[in-house]
Amino acid sequence: MTAVEVNFDGLVGPTHNYAGLGPGNLASQRNRARESDPRGAALEGLAKMRRMVRLGVPQGVLPPHERPDTEALRRLGFEGDDARVLAAAARHAPDALAACASASAMWAANAATVRPGADGADGLVHLVPANLVSALHRSLEAPTTTRILRRLFPDARVHDPLPASTGMGDEGAANHTRLCATHDGPAIHVFVHGIDGDDQVTRFRPRQTLAASRAVARLMQLPAEAVVHVRQSPGAIDAGAFHNDVVCVGDRDVLLLHERAFAGGAADVDRIAAAVEARCGVPLRAVVVPASQVPLEDAVRSYLFNSQLVAAGDGRTVLVAPAEVRETPSVAAWLAAAATDPHVPIDDVEVVDVRQSMRNGGGPACLRLRVVLTRAERDRLASGALVDEARIDALEAWVRTHYRDRLAPADLADPALLEECRAALDALTAMLGLGAVYPFQR
């Protein structure tokens, strides 16, 4: 087998803060205006990457974006030099400033949807950057993400994001799971949407539309028999599963999900299983966690399903879970029972602390974009795209040099913060061999 899954984690940016911006995202709403610790957040992210490297899972990084995005503030009518733009926005439109200052690009699972080269006749890796139109702060990510992906993956086909309309709302790999027997063999792509047309029945507006999922599958040139579309259950969306990866995670032939993740329940899981069996020649190993054991609310609180399910270098299947799973009694009990249950194909659970990100509704799986790459494709990546422990050491030193350890809402208007962010990104693009990718570098 030559193709392996590489996890590209979004590096947490210097403006990481809590602005209550995530629609349907309960943690983001709850922590609005709380003081943040960007340095601690970035170090937590790097510590998670180190754990992955030690597990023998190839690890990559995606750089943060330039924030506050003063170009976006100018498009919103604020004029003058950067300091004036920031001051005027803070005074007249603090919500716009918060949106333009968000470090939300850290949640790399929303950067794009990915198709490995083996899954199409052209043999190319395809990436479809997400348009993230559900919220202003996230919609600002798409152009820079597209540019960065083109730099990092020079041989891949990086599409343009879908047209920016709520009817085409696309949130990337957070609503997509690729299932297979081996990464080189045939695969099933499961696309999960929250809404089909205009029939919203949920309290929170669903973010991913069926029309968008269909367009992404088309762009990735997937044959109909390789695609399954599933609808999220309205109950899951209203319990805080604003992306499917809050209630479901897959890896190769394993699918771990909450009983109430999908609108069709067991029938949806059966459809996926039939497709996997027909195309990949293996039975799907589905682990459906019943609501009677883990209520949906506990699944969302603990982010059990936002764990990373990975193949360690020694062949074990490891669930890399957020620390909150240990603090949620129903989830801790389910994990304890699962450890001895022969029907649960998880060999080990490793707990990571990503609390700073969790307070914005971003668990371990939100922080990473999975890209299946062959050896040759890995060799052709931009030089700094993949990290080992020495590179993680260097990135930690970079964070300690450039990041603040306290950020309050009022600090977002501080022109010095923008300068610090630019200095950090200039140093980082040099470290990663990316060249000039940000507006301030042109």
Report in angstroms how near the CB of residue 267 gets to ligand SUG at its nearest: 25
Handedness of CA 146, 147, 153, 156 (dihedral sign): positive
Closest residue to ligand SUG: CB criterion: 22
Interacting residues toward ligand SUG by CB under 6 A:
17-22, 25, 28, 102, 104, 107, 109-110, 138, 174, 242-243, 245-246, 360-362, 366
8-state DSSP, 132: -
Measured CA to CA, the distance from residue 245 to residue 109 in angstroms comes to 9
CA distance 309 to 292: 23
Residues 6+ apart with CB under 8 A from 116: 3, 125, 178, 183, 187, 371, 372, 373
User: Which tokens is 84 given?
Assistant: 């004036």
Minimum CB separation from ligand SUG for residue 417, in Å?
15
Q: Please, which residue, 355 or 378, has the CB nearer to ligand SUG?
A: 355
Q: At its nearest, how many Å lie between ligand SUG and the CB of residue 39?
A: 17
> What CA–CA distance (Å, rounded) separates 66 from 72?
11
In terms of CB distance, is 124 or 417 closer to ligand SUG? 417
Q: How far is the CB of 173 from ligand SUG (least distance, A)?
A: 8
In whole angstroms, the minimum distance from the beta carbon of 369 to ligand SUG comes to 10
Active-site hit among 5, 44, 66, 171:
171
Tokens 């931009």 identify what position?
382
**Angstrom distance (rounded) from CA 298 to CA 72:** 37
Q: Is the CB of 32 or the CB of 271 nearer to ligand SUG?
A: 32
Q: Order of strands across the sheet with 386-387?
A: 368-373, 4-10, 59-62, 386-387
| Identity of the residue, 18 or 438, whose beta carbon is nearer to ligand SUG in the bound complex | 18
The CA-based angle 390-395-396, given to 5 degrees, is: 95
Question: Based on CB atoms, which residue is closest to ligand SUG, 22 or 116?
Answer: 22
Burial of 88 (0-12, 13-18, 19+ CB in 10 A): middle
Q: Is 100 a catalytic residue?
A: no
The distance of closest approach from Cβ of residue 174 to ligand SUG in the complex, given in angstroms and rounded to an integer, is 3
Instruction: List the one residue out of 369, 298, 286 whose CA is nearest residue 327.
Output: 298
* 392 beta partners: none
Least separation in angstroms between CB 27 and ligand SUG: 8
258 labelled catalytic = no
Query: Edge to edge, what strands does the sheet with 248-251 contain?
Result: 248-251, 254-258, 285-289
The residue among 59 and 357 lying less far from ligand SUG, judged by its C-beta, is 357
Q: What are phi and psi of 403, to 5 degrees?
A: -100, 145
- Identify the active-site residue in 65, 126, 193, 243: 243
Pick between residue 110 and residue 330 the one whose CB is nearest to ligand SUG. 110
Full 3-state SS string of 73-100: HHHCCCCCCHHHHHHHHHHHCHHHHHHH
User: Choosing from 366, 377, 402, 420, which is the catalytic residue?
Assistant: 366
* Nearer Cβ to ligand SUG (18/153): 18
**Nearby residues of 347 by Cβ (< 8 Å), 6 or more positions away:** 316, 317, 318
DSSP state, 50? H
Reply yes or no on whether 171 is catalytic.
Answer: yes
To the nearest whole angstrom, how small is the minimum distance from the Cβ of residue 104 to ligand SUG?
A: 4
Catalytic residues: 171, 243, 366
